[in-house]
Structure 1
């Protein structure tokens, strides 16, 4: 018997809203391979590039927090080492990816990091204009009622009388209809850390999103109403995820669940080879 889900994260939410089948395989029935596909041991080169970008950026932040600055040459070297290691660990070498393709991925990861260092928030941290700041990972959830919510900001800084919570996405969708509510989920983390009174006076929320080769900054001053709507969204999401789980348990066949509407979402899906949509799509 599979227990009801109690976990919420932005990543889970995006998978859930884009493809019920992919969500079921990844988060509900995650112990069985599909048509010989090992779900843990597959990552596309593109996804590894994005992961490397994020990992190296946070290595840079860790050193910066200790007062150590990186040169562009060091960033390039670290990106090349980390991405090459990732590709090798997933068997993406030789005839599966050419040196030209690998170098293109390395260049793409490097440019993401180079460009974000010039964005106003990060540039002010690098230039020591912002002196009180910290960085965090999202692996520790916050308890919210019966739920475990993965909602910590990536960077927190204090400027004058406001706390600023920053979430960074190294590859985002062009259209993000729930971006404000998703950013407001970071306030649950702040409540856990006892910073929450007078939300609209104490906090500013920022999202740094990369798409179309550009970093975009989305900033809001949250209100109590937005915070309440965000909590309601989380509760509704988890409820709907459990309804999907009940539907899946009827026959334990993810191929009977709704599939992604857009073929673009399927391109890097690790479960597409066994997907009924993949068999007739000429765009994937």
Structure 2
């Protein structure tokens, strides 16, 4: 939010002038978490967002122009599949460890054939 606020006209530029709060439900009661803004937190958030953008670009390149989800790496652990929106159509959902190994074998074979050309 501080990143957004700094680009908005009329709001303070210094991260220290903000208080970041989050309200959540935990074990049957509301919990309020608050923290004052800081330059360190601001810089960490900028790095986090930059890393997220870089990761999404890598995913986009991996999927290719057709946005082929099957080109993405399968999960390494079953629990990661629980909330995945593609779990119903994913070829690796029933056994992600085996699917990942098979996928890696195909990738190795493809890279070998490309080197041979």
What is the TM-score of this pair, normalised by structure 1?
0.29
State how far apart, in whole Å, the 2-side matches of 1:210 and 1:228 are.
28
Aligned partner of 2:107 in structure 1 is none
Give the alignment of 1:1-284 within 5 angstroms: 186-193=1-8, 194-200=10-16, 202-249=17-64, 252-280=67-95
- Cα deviation for residue 249 of structure 1 reads 0.8
- Cα deviation for residue 203 of structure 1 reads 1.3
Runs of 5+ in structure 2 lacking a partner?
97-117
Aligned partner of 1:59 in structure 2 is none
Aligned partner of 1:107 in structure 2 is none
- Cα distance change, pair 241–228 in 1 and its aligned pair in 2 (3 A): same
- Cα distance change, pair 187–212 in 1 and its aligned pair in 2 (3 A): same
State how far apart, in whole Å, the 2-side matches of 1:247 and 1:270 are.
18
Instruction: Count how many residue pairs are aligned between Structure 1 and Structure 2.
Output: 95
Helix, strand or coil for the counterpart of 2:30? strand
Structure 1 residue runs of 4 or more that deviate by more than 6 Å after TM superposition: none
Decide whether the 8 Å contact of 1:187 with 1:196 is kept in 2: no
State how far apart, in whole Å, the 1-side matches of 2:55 and 2:43 are.
18
- Cα deviation for residue 274 of structure 1 reads 1.2
Aligned partner of 2:102 in structure 1 is none
- Cα deviation for residue 261 of structure 1 reads 4.6
- Cα deviation for residue 195 of structure 1 reads 1.4
- Structure having the higher Rg: 2
State how far apart, in whole Å, the 2-side matches of 1:259 and 1:213 are.
35
What is the TM-score of this pair, normalised by structure 2?
0.62
Runs of 5+ in structure 1 lacking a partner?
1-185
- Cα distance change, pair 266–211 in 1 and its aligned pair in 2 (3 A): farther
User: Which has the higher relative contact order, 1 or 2, with Cα contacts under 8 A spaced 6 or more apart?
Assistant: 1
- Cα deviation for residue 279 of structure 1 reads 2.4
Helix, strand or coil for the counterpart of 1:207? strand
Q: CA RMSD in A?
A: 2.7
